[in-house]
Amino acid sequence: MSRRAIVGSILVIFVILAIFAAINFAPTNDKWLPILVNVAAGLIGAALITAAAAAFQPVREWITHFFRKVPSRCRILIVGLGRSGKTTLVRKILTEDAPRQETSTPNFDVYEQEKRLKLDPPYIFKASISDYKGQKLSNITINGPSERPDFFGLPGKRLINSIVFIVDFFEEELDSQGNPLSDKSIVDLHKHNAGKIIEDRVKKHNEYITRYTIEQMFELCYSGYNLFSVRLIINKIDLLRSVVAHGYLSGVSELNMEDYAMDLFSSIYTNIKEACEANNIGDYSAHIASAKTGENIRLISGEIFEEYQKRNQK
């Protein structure tokens, strides 16, 4: 039976009851007539109220459904040197196409996309990922919370769920017109002195992501339960693989390349590990990856999102 038919049936029943009461209980004295009319009017009014409530039930259910389904938001802060692949990483985590960029500020951008985990029932949430402009960490520590309080939250009530530190082996190189060099050209630049060039790049990362830097990020982001995950992403493994395949990196082969990569950034990871343990964060790890090709990126982001789902549904 349709909703309209149900409403009509209820209304008819109440009207019949009102008429039945008038016929069977009406006294012969006319002075009771106003009372009878009031009783009948009350019954009809009750019928109309019931009908209205039934009629507006779809609207009420829609409002309840809408507010129940407002997606929660998983916030990820990315920290790393300029040209290490931060923006490419954001795009790869969120979508193969260009992610939606929220309102930009002078020092800070936030990209956002609705994500779905599982199928039955689906878990829907928004992934919100930061990308700060330039290389100054003050863009995060000083400007970030004031420019993007919606992303960072208030002092003592920070909203960040995950910090991702990103490092790489090769700084992005530009040609004379200011365009990025091709991968082949970058690999060719390492033909004669790959080990020294890579060590110099790693040194820059070690000077940028120090124990103090990590402490600053935790001081800014940590406020109890919300921050639950920290990652170190060692980016551009695809370029390192090409350099190794060409034989430009002495003593490194496909077999020991991943160990070589991890060893280069072991001091940064050690500092991250110590900071996580000091703040009772058990979900931390380091991964080699390629933001450009997507290698290991879905695995890394998937772990963060799944942990977010578990915590958000408790």
Model pLDDT, residue 51: 54
Single pTM value for the model = 0.76
Model pLDDT, residue 204: 95
**CATH placement of domain 72-312:** 3.40.50.300
Model pLDDT, residue 121: 78
Tokens of 229: 């995950």
Grouped pLDDT means (10 residues each) for the chain, 314 residues: 54 62 56 58 58 51 46 91 87 68 73 83 89 84 90 93 96 84 93 95 96 94 90 97 96 96 98 96 96 93 93 77
